[in-house]
Amino acid sequence: MVKVRLPDGKVREHPDGVTAAEAVRAIGPGLARDALAAQVDGRTVDLAARLPSGEVEFRVLTPKADDPAALEVMRHSAAHVMAEAICSLWPETKLVYGPPVENGFYYDIDLKHAISPEEFERIESRMAEIVKEDRPFTRYELPRGEAMTKLEREGNPYKLDNAERAEGDALSFYVTGTRDSGCWEDLCRGPHVPSSGRIGAYKIMQVAGAYHHGDASKAMLQRVYGTAWPSKKELDAYLNQLEEARKRDHRRLGPELGLFALDPLVGSGLALWKPKGAILRHTLEVFIREELLRRGYQPVYTPHIGKLDLYRTSGHFPYYKDSQFPPLYESERARLLNALWEIARASNSDRAGAEELALFSRIAADHADLRQVGYPADLPMEDRLRRIRGWLQQEDGYLLRPMNCPHHIRIYQSDVRSYRDLPVRLAEFGTVYRYEQSGEIGGLTRVRGMTQDDAHIFCTPEQLHDELAGCVDMARHALNVVGLTDYRVRASLRDGGDKYVGSKENWDLAEAAILDVVQHSGMNWFVGRGEAAFYGPKIDFLVKDCIGREWQLGTVQCDYNLPERFELKYIGADNHEHRPVMVHRAPLGSLERFVGILIEHFAGAFPLWLAPVQVRVITVSEKSRDYAREVLRTVQKGLRAEFDDGDERIGNKIRMAAHMKIPYLLIIGEQEVANRTVSIRTRDGRQLGSCTVAEFMAACADEIVKRGV
RNA sequence: GCCACCGUAGCUCAAUUGGCAGAGCAGCGGUUUUGUAAACCGCAGGUUGCGGGUUCGAGUCCCGCCGGUGGCUCCA
């Protein structure tokens, strides 16, 4: 007996061995026609699947654009149809992996011929044929051994690899057609829609490269992306929505609104803030500065560059060499000494190896001072490293700073600190430089030079929890004020990887603190394993851009590691030295990325307090020019204002101002001159009527103080 | 860094199979004096991203580089 409990609570009984399709048919013929798949106890299954005995929760999946489970099945099936189309056009294609993803699906293939966008149409028409044939998706299973033999015979190493990774004693295949029809088939876990005619409206979106298993050392595959929807109408709505989102793209709006420029001659990923972008950034900085002072931070200023040895101590150099701009003024001697240091460290032995000694001899040949000191082979590793560091400290190499923490740490260390001084909170809009991979740079969201609204907190272990919570509070407050409320919060913890430094005990403490803070924050958060920084776990605020890519903005990071590397201290109440804990935090993250996201969030139409130009005074004709000038002078005393007294028609002046997303237009014609008023028009076309300049200014002042969005 | 695509005036885009580089907007000059999202006339604007090659002839074909876009990888 199978008891099927429907979402409305009704229970229907069926004999053992009943299929999902039969259970659906029993509910109603209309539903049976519509059904794509079913969910049994929350697990999606084919309609052909037999239901287990006993009572099950049962839900029918029909093609609805708001049912993620239904879309997932349909898109997975669409991936099969696309793969078959590609295989029929290029029979040498080796299939790899083709899952559904958000808004669509992809299929990874190994094919020498590079599929070009011009060929999408050919693939789509082949897909249309397969859809029109309305062939059933037929599942069959083979015992693991038999399946492996079959796959080996077919000679696709990727599928063989998939099969080896698959769980269970039996492997399933899906034929797009009846069993033994000779139709196209694929090793696949399923489930699928009943037949190829049910995949709705679809479109191939793009083709991109993708490493097999995401491993950059492996060969690159082609990943063909598509999207699929229940109907043409929903597909069009999706494409339209994409189009609308692209109109908000900060890379288009930013230059158009005069906010920033990205100049290849200056360098890839190095943003130029133009006056309008700079005033916007300045306004944000003022806001953050106010918060910092309110929250007990102390502003500091430090240079954008520091000695290499500073970063050797912090661990940034040379471990992250690939993502740093090359060092400045590093001598050949220093380069060699650094290589020696790396070899010595890698040896992890209290006896110098042959390579190490040979390198030393090579360096020492040119440098008498090194020969004098010497480099005994039986010197313990720590002593050898110390000796090399001593030599390196005399070298004049500099690094554009990749992070601000080392400078702030040195400020902390410039005074003797008592437990009474803690927490010490040092804040700076710190500009850092990172040599990001060329393929990753884009717009303001990923740049090579950026300014963080950074701060480093030095506190006792007992203070850690409150400090972390305070940082989270500030980050949330900042996002709230600008109205960026659609974000996710990630507790970024370590995984089993080897990139992490510091003791397990400290990591456990830090992660516990991080988790405790997010748990009590009331935020919507999730755990990101392996997302931790090398020195500690963090809390990251993630926001999506106009095409759905997620970016980390604010971050709060817990760090036991750098205090040890720099041997940070404070004198405790017991008159003994203790080690402080550090918190790294940046509520906005980088101003570049934050402003980039902000441009998209507001589609360039910033709230009054942030708008680079808050008001534009426009004359109807030159007859009202003198009074308009008077209005402008008054308005400029409290607002960022522009003037348009050109000889364009008023309609065009309004159009141009609206294009620049200026919040308020003050229109001055002969009526306004006569009444000594201004006529107010908002950027979205509302006419707020006339009032005096003083009234307008007061209303604006109120809106600005409230930082209304 | 890897794969694919793209690069023509400040911006958006044209330019048969390889055959005289063009338009709209913006800019500048003039006319117009305007009432809530485009007044009219004119002028100027280019080593077609850069460098090689093929060809009688290259914006167009080939190679290299630079830059951009979408993914992948990375993101201290």
Give the start-to-end residue ranges of the domains of chain A: 2-61, 68-244, 280-296+404-602, 331-396, 615-705
- Measure the CA–CA gap between A175 and A89, rounded to whole angstroms: 18
Please state, in angstroms and rounded to a whole number, the distance separating the CA atoms of residues A89 and A204: 15
C-alpha span between A123 and A138 (Å, rounded): 23
ipTM for the whole predicted complex goes beyond 0.85:
yes
CB A581 within 8 A of CB A459: yes
Top pLDDT among A397 and A586 is at A586
Q: For residue A480, what pLDDT is reported?
A: 94
Give residue A325's pLDDT. Answer: 92
Give the residue whose CA sits closest to B39 at C1': A649
The mean per-residue pLDDT over the stretch A148-167 comes to 91
- Residues of A with active-site annotation: 405, 434, 452, 454, 456, 538, 584
- The rounded distance, in Å, linking the Cα atoms of A228 and A286 is 46
DSSP alpha helix (H) spans, A295-367: 308-314, 332-347, 354-366
Q: How far is the CA of A249 from the C1' of B43 (A)?
A: 35
pLDDT band at A218 (very low <50, low <70, confident <90, very high): confident
pLDDT digits (tens, 9 = 90+) for A600-615: 999 999 999 999 999 9
Residue A549: pLDDT above 80? yes
Choosing among 3.30.930.10, 3.90.226.10, 3.20.20.10, 3.40.47.10, the CATH entry for A280-296+404-602 is 3.30.930.10
Section A299-313 average pLDDT: 93
Q: Could you tell me which residue, A502 or A311, shows the higher pLDDT?
A: A311
pLDDT value at A476 more than 90: yes
Closest C1' nucleotide to A405's CA: B76
CA of A530 to C1' of B20 (A): 63
Q: What is the pLDDT of residues A21-52, one digit of tens each?
A: 999 999 999 999 999 999 999 999 999 999 99
The helix, strand and coil proportions of chain A, stated in percent and rounded to the nearest 5, come to 40, 25, 35
Which residues have C-beta within 8 Å of that of residue A284, sequence separation ≥ 6? A482, A588, A591, A594, A595, A610
Q: Give strand letter and number of the nucleotide nearest A207 (CA to C1').
A: B4
A205 band by pLDDT with thresholds 50, 70 and 90: very high
CATH of A2-61, one of 1.10.357.10, 3.10.20.30, 3.40.710.10, 3.30.70.2740: 3.10.20.30
Give the bases of strand B that a protein CB approaches within 7 Å: 1-5, 26, 31-39, 66-76
Q: Which residue has the higher pLDDT, A232 or A339?
A: A232
pLDDT of A160 above 80? yes
DSSP three-state, residue A157? helix
Query: Burial level of A510, CB count in 10 A (0-12/13-18/19+)?
Result: buried
How many Å apart are A397 CA and B69 C1'?
A: 37
Q: Distance from residue A657 (CA) to nucleotide B26 (C1'), in Å? A: 14
Place of tokens 């590609």: A86
Q: Mean pLDDT, to the nearest integer, of A191-202?
A: 94
- DSSP of A651-668: HHHHHHHHHTT-SEEEEE
Between CA A654 and C1' B45 the distance (Å) reads 27
- What pLDDT is recorded for position A195? 94
CATH dotted code for A68-244: 3.30.980.10
Nucleotide nearest to A530 in CA–C1' terms:
B75
**Number of C-beta neighbours around residue A337 at 10 A:** 25
CA of A317 to C1' of B47 (A): 45
Task: Give me the pLDDT at residue A346, please.
Answer: 82
**C1’ B64 / CA A274, Å:** 35
pLDDT interval class at A190 (50, 70, 90):
confident
- What confidence tier does A225 reach under pLDDT thresholds 50, 70, 90? very high
User: Which of the two residues, A338 and A81, has the higher pLDDT score?
Assistant: A81
Please name the nucleotide lying closest to A679, CA to C1'. Answer: B36
User: So what's the pLDDT on residue A126?
Assistant: 94
CA pair distance A326, A308, nearest whole angstrom:
11
**How many angstroms is C1' of B41 away from CA of A256?**
29
pLDDT at A704: 96
The Cα A191–Cα A38 span in angstroms is: 9
With beta carbons less than 8 A apart as the criterion, state whether A690 and A675 touch.
yes
CA A448, CA A433: separation in Å to the nearest integer?
A: 5
Å between A439 CA and B66 C1'?
Answer: 14
Please give the pLDDT value at position A348.
83
Confirm if A612 and A606 have CB atoms less than 8 A apart.
Answer: yes
Helix (H, G, I), strand (E, B) or coil at A490: strand
d(CA A252, C1' B12) / Å: 12
Tell me, what's the pLDDT at A342? 83
Tens digit of pLDDT for each residue in A141-156?
999 999 999 999 998 9
Q: Which nucleotide is nearest to A117 (CA to C1')?
A: B5
Q: Which nucleotide is nearest to A687 (CA to C1')?
A: B36
pLDDT score of A448: 95
Q: Which nucleotide is nearest to A538 (CA to C1')?
A: B76
Assign a CATH topology to domain A615-705.
Rossmann fold (3.40.50)
- The 10 Å CB-count burial string (b at 16+, else e) for A52-91 is eeeebebbbbbbebebebbbbbbbbbbbbbbbbbbbeeee
Residue A322: its pLDDT value, please?
84
- Average pLDDT over all residues of chain A: 93
pLDDT at A39: 95
Residue A672, nucleotide of least CA–C1' distance: B35
The model's pLDDT over A481-519, given as tens digits with 9 standing for 90+, comes to 999 999 999 999 998 887 888 888 889 989 999 999 999
Give the residue with minimal CA–C1' separation from B35: A620
In the predicted structure, residue A450 carries a pLDDT above the cut 80: yes
